[in-house]
């Protein structure tokens, strides 16, 4: 992605006051199972019709009797976004959908705002007869997680926000807005924007099989979804209903995140007093792809392993 901006949260390193509410939970190492076969990921998907009539594709992995953990991917990604973390989260029942317009799920003309995406997630829990779940979301998925936890607090046990922000994630005229508005189809993977958007383009190495497969998912997203999500997120502070969230919150950020640099992380910590928070100094916006085992173990520690 774009030029990387490093930041930290530790007072002794940054020369700024520490945020007292941002307590870090030390990850607990657990033995992992075998890595997920990227070539076989799509074959694991199931389909479910929600009460709205929308059909979502999803993957149901891990321990079917484990605590439910709903994992929500980012913009233009798919359920595959979480595949690298599955081996270290296998003790939970992992519900991993392709959100509307992404992956193998339906892509209706309307609508792609956070309230709608959060209601899709609620309806998915209903369809699977899950009364209450922990929810982790990355990037756009983290914004959906906040909306779900605010709109339906009784359904959400705790939340993890990865690569997130409390502020407006898109502003008219900024890099993402301009780039998406300028896209033409079929998408050219060699264009400047898509080279920056490529899953392999991170500060540290990403599994190449994952990156190649994830790029295919990106290229399959339809024009109205690209534009619909960006328009829905433009100029909207996504943590504006944070006071309605009752669940414990863990905030994880990359220190070289070019989309949501330091001020976004700090705004989230301010929006969720008492949250736990941690910055991975050398990693980018998609740090869960760079160090998946470490991130998974942080989530497991927060879950109370």
3-state SS string for the chain? CCCCCCCCCCHHHHCCCCCCCCECCCCCCCCCCCCCCHHHCHHHCEEEECCCCCEEEEEEEECCCCCEEEEECCCCCCHHHHHHHHHHCCCCEEEEECCCCCCCCCCCCCCCCHHHHHHHHHHHHHHCCCCCEEEEEECHHHHHHHHHHHHCHHHEEEEEEECCCCCCCECCCCHHHHHHHCCCCCCCCCCHHHHHHCCCCCCCCCCHHHHHHHHHHHHCCCHHHHHHHHHHHECCCCCCCHHHCCCCEEEEEECCCCCCCHHHHHHHHHHCCCCEEEEECCCCCCHHHHCHHHHHHHHHHHHCC
The verdict on residue 2 lying in a domain is no
Dihedral angle sign, alpha carbons of residues 157, 160, 165, 168: negative
Give the domain CATH number at 46: 3.40.50.1820
Token pair in block for residue 126:
């209903």
The verdict on residue 217 lying in a domain is yes
The verdict on residue 113 lying in a domain is yes
Cis peptide bond prior to 111, omega within 30° of 0: yes
Pairwise CA distance, residues 166 & 262, whole Å? 12
Report strand pairing: 133-138 vs 68-72.
parallel
pLDDT of residue 292: 98
pLDDT of residue 3: 37
The verdict on residue 5 lying in a domain is no
Pairwise CA distance, residues 305 & 242, whole Å? 26
Pairwise CA distance, residues 222 & 220, whole Å? 6
Instruction: Give the count of domains, the chain.
Output: 1
The verdict on residue 84 lying in a domain is yes
The verdict on residue 3 lying in a domain is no
pLDDT of residue 17: 32
pLDDT of residue 33: 75
- Mean pLDDT, consecutive 10-residue stretches, the chain (305 aa), reads 36 33 53 83 98 98 97 98 98 98 98 98 98 98 98 98 98 96 96 97 98 98 98 96 98 98 98 97 98 98 87
pLDDT of residue 2: 38
291 C-beta neighbours (distance < 10 Å), count: 19
The verdict on residue 195 lying in a domain is yes
The verdict on residue 296 lying in a domain is yes
pLDDT of residue 31: 52
Rounded to the nearest angstrom, the gap between the alpha carbon of residue 110 and the centroid of all alpha carbons in its chain is 21
pTM of the model: 0.91
Q: Which domain holds residue 297?
A: 11-303
């Amino acid at each position: 992605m774009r030029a990387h901006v490093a930041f930290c949260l530790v007072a002794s390193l940054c020369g700024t006051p520490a945020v007292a509410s941002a307590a870090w939970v030390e990850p607990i190492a657990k033995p992992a199972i075998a890595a997920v076969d990227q070539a076989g990921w799509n074959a694991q998907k199931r389909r479910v019709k929600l009460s709205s009539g929308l059909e979502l594709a999803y993957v149901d992995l891990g321990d079917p009797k484990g605590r439910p953990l709903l994992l929500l991917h980012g913009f233009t990604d798919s359920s595959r976004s979480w595949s690298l973390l599955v081996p270290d989260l296998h003790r939970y029942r992992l519900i991993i959908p392709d959100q509307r317009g992404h992956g193998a799920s339906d892509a209706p003309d309307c609508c792609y705002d956070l309230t709608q995406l959060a209601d899709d997630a609620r309806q998915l829990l209903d369809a699977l007869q899950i009364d209450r779940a922990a929810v982790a979301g990355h990037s756009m998925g983290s914004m959906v997680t906040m909306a779900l936890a605010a709109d339906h607090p009784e359904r959400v046990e705790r939340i993890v926000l990865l690569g997130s922000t409390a502020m407006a994630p898109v502003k008219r005229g900024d890099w993402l807005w301009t780039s998406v508005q300028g896209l033409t189809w079929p998408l050219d993977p060699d264009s400047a924007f898509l080279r920056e958007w490529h899953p392999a383009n991170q500060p540290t190495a990403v599994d190449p099989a994952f990156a190649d497969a994830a790029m295919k998912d990106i290229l399959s997203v339809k024009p109205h979804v690209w534009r619909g999500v960006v328009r829905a997120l433009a100029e909207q502070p996504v943590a504006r209903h944070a006071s309605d969230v009752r669940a414990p919150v863990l905030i994880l950020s990359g220190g070289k995140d070019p989309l949501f640099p330091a001020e976004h992380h700090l705004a989230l910590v301010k929006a969720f007093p008492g949250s736990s928070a941690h910055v991975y100094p050398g990693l980018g916006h998609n740090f869960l792809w760079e160090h998946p085992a470490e991130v998974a173990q942080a989530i497991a520690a927060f879950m109370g392993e």
